[in-house]
Structure 1
């Protein structure tokens, strides 16, 4: 990636953390200053901020080590892979019972990014492979992900009052979309009725962490001709799957 948009303070923080990870509780401020070529005044401000954020820890000898926040970040990094494995293990029986594909996704800016998919052996499939991104406001997954985020964050993601119509059924107004998110929070699941892809309907539910924030969402998509017959069962199955994955978080 180009260094054109680099933030020097973050580069310095990275250098500090890399050194402290290799040699914890060895380096004092003056030693770090000499080793990394960072002035003491700049480093003092940097370390003070990092200590406040628990990025670093300082002992009574004034030496530093990586702080508890680094452990939290590391755990979160590996949990996302645990989540995919849990999804595959628990989602496979759901797919077999519904005989429809099941997806796992996360929010990436204003888009939904698919993390995993368990495909049903059916001839008609919606394109939603791993890595595919889709406008969050046009998907059941996106509704479940955004419904459990702070309103100001949702409005920051959906900057314009008018939302892009992906199909004729896509919600085109941000206010109308925000109103639907309120209903999603109350019900605990969301639906996409041909809003993202013509001919397909979807039910989705959020995977919540301990703070009640949606870190991911699961869904089942199916052709519109199967929707009425399977809708109620799909809602129960997807909500139950989301609850199981939330517990694992």
Structure 2
């Protein structure tokens, strides 16, 4: 399987954030914003935004003298001891914040060993998770998160998946033609959220954006009751703009 996609804005933000963290980590007694800008070659406005995000996520702390040092979250993820548990907790905090900012249930999904897997999610009152009435592993052709993951594979990878999971009709809106689905996946720009307009379940609309870290395809998705469908595109754009912390956590 080969991943085939263009880097998205969250990917570039995560890469820039990693440069900032690497510089901060090399200065255990603290580094000034001026020195950070010089060493990372990031503009003032860009650096300010990244530092704000890194402080919010706990990766960087600002001391009383204005310098920056590594935060507790970076220490936890940088330690081999119980790293998986620390990563899961860090991602959950980020997903909870995303849920609140987009006003919808949020999902983190990965394509692992040829299968769609929802690894974590955040829901809440008035923001319910999708009723998984058909296993997400078998319904990638109909879900926003499934189509986002398939869209990050090459043509052979997509065909392989569809050969193992037949595109069956789940609602009147479900695409069941492999040719039509493959054509839509090929035409989908990586920077534009993938939508599911009641293709998986009547009464629910969804959107997903790619977050690929390493060799595994991944995505962030959200779901809304159909009565809130008018908010879907704006919520998807917000999700996309705020996806960098998830990518960053996966990359550290």
Same topology, TM > 0.5: yes
CA contact (8 A) 1:148 1:185 kept: no
Count matched residues.
169
RMSD: 3.1
Structure 1 123/147 Cα, relative in aligned 2: closer, same or farther at 3 Å?
closer
Aligned positions of 1:58-207 closer than 5 A: 84-108=88-112, 111-122=115-126, 125-128=129-132, 133-159=137-163, 163-207=167-211
Q: Secondary structure at the match of 1:136?
A: coil
Q: Calculate the TM-score normalised by the size of structure 1.
A: 0.58
Asked if 2 retains the 8 angstrom alpha-carbon contact of 1:141 and 1:204, the reply is yes
Q: Which has the higher contact order (CA 8 A, sep 6+)?
A: 2
Could you say which residue in structure 1 is the equivalent of 2:31?
A: none
Report what 1:242 is aligned to: 243
Unmatched tracts of structure 2, length 5 or more: 1-81
Structure 1, residues 201-244: CA drift from partner, whole Å, max 9, x if none?
00111221246x52x2111101111011x123211222134333
CA separation of 1:127 and 1:171: change in aligned 2, threshold 3 A: same
Contact 1:140 1:219 survives alignment (8 Å): yes
Q: Distance in 1 between matches of 2:173 and 2:214?
A: 34
Give the 5 Å matches for 1:1-80. Answer: none
Whole-Å Cα distance in 2 between the matches of residues 242 and 152 of structure 1? 28
Q: Which protein has the larger Cα radius of gyration, Structure 1 or Structure 2?
A: 1
Runs of 4 or more consecutive aligned structure 1 residues displaced over 6 Å after TM superposition: none
Alpha-carbon distance change, 172 to 233 in structure 1, aligned in 2, over 3 angstroms: same
Look up the match of 1:232: 233
